[in-house]
């Protein structure tokens, strides 16, 4: 659960596993709010393209879409936030290629098989994001690991 007054914080994949108690309702409310804001501020484009706040807070917006799509976030031990991952899933972070983009990777515990499933899982992440107007490109990076680069549509 979130701290009162702080609002909903979507899972980025870098924190501890989120508590399930009450989270589903908070997630649904946050996602419905995202869609409503889009309809109100985007004019004829409606919910089909990111709203201006999403462009300013891209990692948060992308994480919200992925979590709402039911895609699991990666997680780390709350006692050792810099330690190894404890759960396989997406991780959303700032893209190395520059501002205005985020990077989605598929990570998990050492030996957990994340590398073998990353293409399929990142393709599912891209599908969820593209349905809401984000542009996704799948790349192969260092050590042949795949990642998604996510950016707003050219007209956003």
Q: Residue 94 pairs with which residues in a beta bridge?
A: 102
Instruction: Give the span between the Cα atoms of 69 and 63, in whole angstroms.
Output: 10
Instruction: Give the span between the Cα atoms of 74 and 90, in whole angstroms.
Output: 5
Instruction: Give the span between the Cα atoms of 132 and 34, in whole angstroms.
Output: 11
Task: Give, for all 156 residues of the chain, the pLDDT tens digit.
Answer: 444 446 789 999 998 887 777 899 999 999 999 999 999 999 888 899 999 999 999 999 999 999 999 999 999 988 888 889 999 999 999 988 878 899 999 999 999 999 999 999 999 999 999 999 999 999 998 889 999 999 999 875
**What per-residue confidence (pLDDT) applies to 1?**
40
Tokens, residue 148: 């998604």
Q: Any idea where the domains of the chain sit in the sequence? A: 10-156
What's the pTM value of the predicted model, to 2 decimals?
Answer: 0.91
Q: Identify the burial level of 24 via C-beta atoms within 10 angstroms of its C-beta, where 0-12 means exposed, 13-18 middle and 19 or more buried.
A: exposed
**What per-residue confidence (pLDDT) applies to 3?**
44
Instruction: Give the span between the Cα atoms of 132 and 135, in whole angstroms.
Output: 9
């Amino acid at each position: 659960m979130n701290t009162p007054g702080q609002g909903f914080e979507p899972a980025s994949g870098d924190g501890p596993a989120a508590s399930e108690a009450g989270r589903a309702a908070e997630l649904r409310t946050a996602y419905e709010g995202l869609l409503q804001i889009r309809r109100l501020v985007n004019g004829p484009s409606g919910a089909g393209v990111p709203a201006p706040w999403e462009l300013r807070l891209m990692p948060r917006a992308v994480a919200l879409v992925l979590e709402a799509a039911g895609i699991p976030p990666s997680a780390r031990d709350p006692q050792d936030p810099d330690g190894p991952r404890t759960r396989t899933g997406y991780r959303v972070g700032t893209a190395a290629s520059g501002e205005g983009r985020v990077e989605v990777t598929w990570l998990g515990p050492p030996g957990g098989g994340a590398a073998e499933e990353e293409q399929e899982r990142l393709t599912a992440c891209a599908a969820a994001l593209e349905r809401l107007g984000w542009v996704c490109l799948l790349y192969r990076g260092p050590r042949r690991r795949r990642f998604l680069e996510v950016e707003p549509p050219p007209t956003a």
